[in-house]
Structure 1
Amino acid sequence: MPRATGDEKASAWVSRAIDLLLADRAAEPPTPLRAFPLAGPPGTALYLKDESLRPSGSLKHGPARDLFLDALRRGEIGPDTPLFEATSGNMAVAQASIARFLGLRYTAVVPGRTGPAKRRRIEEQGGRCHPFDPPLAIYGKARALAQESGGHCLDHLERVGDAIDWSGPHGLGAQILGDLERAGEPAPAWIVVGVGSGATSAAVGRYLRSRGAATRLAVVDPENSAYFPGWAADFPGYTTGMPSRIEGIGRPRMEPAFDPSVVDLVIPVPDVASVAAMRHLHALTGLKAGPSSGSCLWGAFHVLDRMGREGARGAVVMVVGDGGQAYRDTYYDDAWTEARGWHLHGPLSDLVRFTATGTWEATPAG
């Protein structure tokens, strides 16, 4: 029997890698849908889709796996291909996890100021960190390192929009509608998500429209981010030149994956409100989530208030993007938040009042 050539071995490895990722996706249990204890408005309900229970701890796990599948199918990743990405957040953690699953080397190019806790999360999943400055140069550096080493840059900000599988049963939109259907409930009136790369909102929005669902999609946007002003002005080239202070969401430009045509509402959320809502979510439910989930809770209350004023009924589903353990020494630390000028008492009072009564004392910011 003739021996397999190197090309044949590489092709066989790619086929096995694709099969492994598809089997892993099929075996992954759905994340839970939890009810939030809300008093009103009448005829409404709020649910939390808890994506913090994905294998690598955030909703980025599915898009990261789709990036790998796309690159494997394109012949860009082989058995010995070193992988690179420019990010220090949940996407890097998810990619490092998947690279280790396939036995591949993975390097995240991170800003030099990235703290040890964030680096440790990537390293715990088998990745390594390559600090580089200035921060906006990490994208070019990741591409350069990939080219120099004969590797591949996953480049999620540019590529995840085309790679993500939004139409299948494992997508977030399909899972949310399926969760409610299995509970004997109609499709929600609104789904509320954060927007970082824009891939999640695009995937959910496209799925809703492909199904002809009446569900509307709202995305939340923190200070310094380009999505709200760019969406409101219908100007995809809008930039702010400033980084978001809310981990996981917000960008200084509208990224290629963002699809404004499938978004019904963009809600600007003050940073202090995101942090207060994150704390409020933990106090009421015991669910310790990240600050992007606080943004989503504030946005969900905004939508529920709007429904109450319009006399609308139905459920709102907000997405919990990640867990809060990584933010123990930052967003959950009073001294850290006070040093940033985030005084939480006012928005916390608003959140407590809305939870108990279904009404705001005044119209919320945004």
Structure 2
Amino acid sequence: MLSDIISAHAPLKIVSLRLNLAAIDFRLMKVFPAFNIIEAGLRNGEIGPNTTIVETSSGTMALALAIVCMQFSLKLHIFGDRAIEPPLKRTMQELGAEVHIVDATASNGNVQLLRKNALLEFVDRTRATWSRQYDNLANRLSYARPAAEAIREFGEIDVLVAAVGSGGSSCGLAHYCRAFFPKMKLVGIDTFGSVLFGQPVGRRDLRGLGNSILPGNLFHQAFDEIHWLGANEAYQAAHRLHRETSLKRGPTSGAAYLVAKWYAELSPKSKVLAVFPDDSNRYEQNIYDPGWMQANGYQAELAATEPVLVPHPLHADNGWCRFNWSRRSLAEVMGINIPRTEA
């Protein structure tokens, strides 16, 4: 059972947005996998009272682990990059975590590999335990509870729309929901320059989804369709979500809203559920700041408002693109044997 304090960080609501569209609305979604990973490790003996936990993250997984490790009195070291803003870093440090910033820009296509290498060097030197959010099955399994709550409140789900990073939430929610609704369509959202669905690694202005490492928790055969969004599209979608629903959320939630609303309008008889991973706290000084948006060239009139259907992932290059994945493996889609990188 989640403790009362951890539960306070992990409330979830099923919010109706229109007749056939709703959202699983989290305050801090990654508390679920963070707790499940640590609790499972304590239960099976892989983690003891004096174990030091390490993880590579520059976002909400880092914060969630800081919360959970504080509750279990465990030492935590986070290896991140400049995407960790000073307020987030201070918050984690106040919770007892040590934060290591890898010397690479937030848009560096290989920043996650650099973070991983720094983490591995630390593990070799200290014998710390890596929580391995990308490969740890406890990540995917942690989404049974949110899925059960969604089914209880929303009923049958025809289309589930989720951003993809580690593969934990999208594949975990889909696995549980399909036990009840096997025909449910899973729509994943990625960004350009992410390797998750066949694109070469490259610069990613949009953070919070996508990856430069192929995680073990990503099960490609679960997905029916993939959408790629640029940063401007996701940022403008977050503003649209706020204007149209009063829900002020981050760009990952905005991306899910944009794609899910498009599906709901395209198929008015289908019940569409979007995943909103976190709130807007990290984004008040950037995407919700008009000066920052203007200075960085993000303009509403430049954002794509409809997806372009592409014949292959390598044809998805900017704006908003979609591809019929059709529950195939990555190798089947790409036509080559692709090794899975250990995260």
Q: TM-score when scaled to structure 2?
A: 0.79
Contact map agreement 1:83 1:152 (CA 8 A) in 2: yes
Counterpart of 2:285?
329
Counterpart of 1:360?
none
Aligned residue runs from structure 1 range 40-119, under 5 A: 45-52=20-27, 58-111=28-81, 114-119=84-89
Counterpart of 1:247?
207
| 1:76 aligned partner, one-letter code | E
Alpha-carbon offset, residue 25 of structure 1: 7.7
Counterpart of 1:257?
217
Alpha-carbon offset, residue 210 of structure 1: 2.4
| 1:119 aligned partner, one-letter code | K
The change in CA–CA distance for 1:96 and 1:141 in structure 2 (over 3 A counts) is same
The change in CA–CA distance for 1:113 and 1:305 in structure 2 (over 3 A counts) is closer
Counterpart of 1:6?
none
Aligned residue runs from structure 1 range 1-366, under 5 A: 21=2, 31-36=12-17, 38=18, 45-52=20-27, 58-111=28-81, 114-134=84-104, 135=111, 136-159=113-136, 162-164=137-139, 166=141, 170=145, 172-181=146-155, 187-228=156-197, 230=198, 240-308=200-268, 313-345=269-301, 347=303, 350=305, 365-366=321-322
Structure with bigger helix share is 1
The change in CA–CA distance for 1:120 and 1:27 in structure 2 (over 3 A counts) is closer
Contact map agreement 2:33 2:142 (CA 8 A) in 1: no
Q: TM-score when scaled to structure 1?
A: 0.74
- More displaced 10-residue stretch of structure 1: 327-336 or 289-298: 327-336
Structure 1: unaligned runs, 5 residues or longer: 1-19, 39-43, 53-57, 182-186, 231-238, 352-363
The change in CA–CA distance for 1:272 and 1:282 in structure 2 (over 3 A counts) is same
C-alpha root-mean-square deviation of aligned residues, in Å?
A: 2.8
Aligned-partner Cα distance in 1 for 2:50–2:59:
25
The change in CA–CA distance for 1:226 and 1:340 in structure 2 (over 3 A counts) is farther
Match of 1:158, SS state, is coil
- More displaced 10-residue stretch of structure 1: 263-272 or 317-326: 263-272
* Aligned residues between the structures: 303
Alpha-carbon offset, residue 196 of structure 1: 0.7
The change in CA–CA distance for 1:346 and 1:301 in structure 2 (over 3 A counts) is farther
The change in CA–CA distance for 1:29 and 1:147 in structure 2 (over 3 A counts) is closer
Residues 343-365 of structure 1 deviation map (CA, whole Å, 9 limit, x = unaligned): 113549x59xxxxxxxxxxxx75
Q: Report sequence identity in percent.
A: 23
Contact map agreement 1:93 1:125 (CA 8 A) in 2: no
Structure 1 segments of 4+ aligned residues over 6 angstroms from their partners? 22-29
The change in CA–CA distance for 1:344 and 1:26 in structure 2 (over 3 A counts) is closer
Aligned-partner Cα distance in 1 for 2:3–2:144:
13
Aligned-partner Cα distance in 2 for 1:33–1:130:
36
The change in CA–CA distance for 1:276 and 1:113 in structure 2 (over 3 A counts) is closer
The change in CA–CA distance for 1:158 and 1:322 in structure 2 (over 3 A counts) is same
Alpha-carbon offset, residue 27 of structure 1: 9.3
